[in-house]
Amino acid sequence: MTAHYFAGANTADGFCDFFMNILPEELQKKVYYIKGGPGVGKSTFMRAIGEALEKNGYDVEYFHCSGDPDSIDGVAAPAIGAALMDGTAPHVCDPSIPGARDTLVSLGDFLDVRMLSPYCDEIKSLNKTIGTHYKRAYRFFAAAAALAEPKAESCQLEFFGAKLRHLFLSAYTLKGKVEFACPHKRLVSLNSAPSDAAELMRHCKAATLFHNPLIPKNIDSIYLPDSETLIVCKQSEPKGLCAEALRMAQGELLAAKDLHDKLEAFYIKACDFARVDKMRKKVEKAILA
């Protein structure tokens, strides 16, 4: 079984990062932090290993980029305690137990810096302009949150000591709002069956909280793995000026992606992808060992 989530989101509060929830710490056995410049193949690297894990019969979770949902920011195989995650900005993360559990994989080592250095000023300028587009996008997201009518609701439940995992099921991306489905066997509406939801929470040992992609302090839904139940809170769709602000934010993300593609072009020309693929096979073998 595969599942698809977001570990981060572009929100009214800026970029919200739950990357350390890609795999709960108590399950972690082999965690790989993938580093390297744009265009060096981090997403392809992780996706290929995820597909290899699927072929070997493991359930795999894919974590998509909230800017470009066609790109992968992380992969997890909970049954064997394995995970890979993009450790670069805006979700910088690094090994905390290097060697014993965590491994840093630097795809930047396969870049020919002699091919990049002549373009240093252009790369710097592109990075700055991309950052400006994201700042504008966040202002539009903040405006959308302020204009939302009715105000977004949040699942209000007690968790009774359950171990909590925080993620997103949806995100506002360059393609607009993208929403994934959480695999489940039972669906409970908090609006129509609040007592059922409260009783389920009372007995659960773990829960995944799916945050609202615009107002991340709010919870849209809760997954209880013990009972394979998804508890949902009804949300209204953005309308009027709120929807317009979201479209403006999407435009900024699209503009940032166009510039990011230009940035990637410098690095693609300078990267030795044969060595990247050799490293992928090495990591894949280590995970499956």
pLDDT above 90 for 156: no
List pLDDT tens digits, range 163-182. 999 999 999 999 999 999 99
**Among 246, 226, 239, CA closest to 12:** 246
Report residue 74 as tokens.
């992380």
- The reported pLDDT for the residue numbered 202 is 85
Average pLDDT over residues 146-153: 76
Beta bridge pairs of residue 35? 106
Task: Residue 135: count other Cβ atoms within 10 Å of its Cβ.
Answer: 11
State the residue for tokens 């350390």: 20
Determine the Cα–Cα distance for residues 10 and 289; give it in Å rounded to an integer.
37
pTM, 2 dp: 0.95
Please report the pLDDT score of residue 151 as a whole number: 66
pLDDT of residue 150 exceeding 70, the answer is: no
Nearest to 18 by CA among 233, 205, 224, 171: 171
pLDDT at 158 (0 to 100): 75
The predicted pLDDT at position 191 comes to 74
| pLDDT, greater one: 154 or 284 | 284
Confidence of residue 152 (pLDDT cuts 50, 70, 90): low
At 219-260, the pLDDT tens digits run 999 999 989 999 998 777 889 999 999 999 999 999 999 999
HEC string for 65-80: CCCCCCCEEEEEEHHH
For range 139-156, the mean pLDDT? 83
* Stretch (H or E) spanning 285: helix 273-288
pLDDT at 71 over 80: yes
* Contact call for residues 168 and 18 (beta carbons, < 8 A): yes
